[in-house]
Amino acid sequence: MINNRNFIILSTLLQLADNEKVCCASYREIVQRSGYCRTVVLQSIRELTLMGKIVKDSSSPLGKNRYRIID
């Protein structure tokens, strides 16, 4: 079950994503958009990954991470 914090982080990623549900964003962008601190964003990203809601790829250019949102 997804909690409110993780729901907001997932919604933020969806807002930043393209039509294929792929998001390329830095932690800073996610922090600014979601309103949560970096520590909470990091924990939420980790939890969403473990739940299978997102797949994270750290090899994106410019210090950004790539996230694929899974339905």
- In whole angstroms, how large is the CA radius of gyration of the chain? 11
User: What's the domain count of the chain?
Assistant: 1
Tokens describing residue 29: 């962008």
- Predicted TM-score of the model (pTM): 0.91
| CATH number (domain holding residue 39) | 1.10.10.10
Tokens describing residue 60: 């994106």
At 58 the pLDDT is 76
At 62 the pLDDT is 73
At 31 the pLDDT is 98
pLDDT string in tens for the chain (71-residue length):
799 999 999 999 999 999 999 999 999 999 999 999 999 999 999 999 999 999 998 776 677 899 999 98
Note the helical H segments in the chain.
4-16, 27-34, 38-50
Domain encompassing residue 13 = 4-69
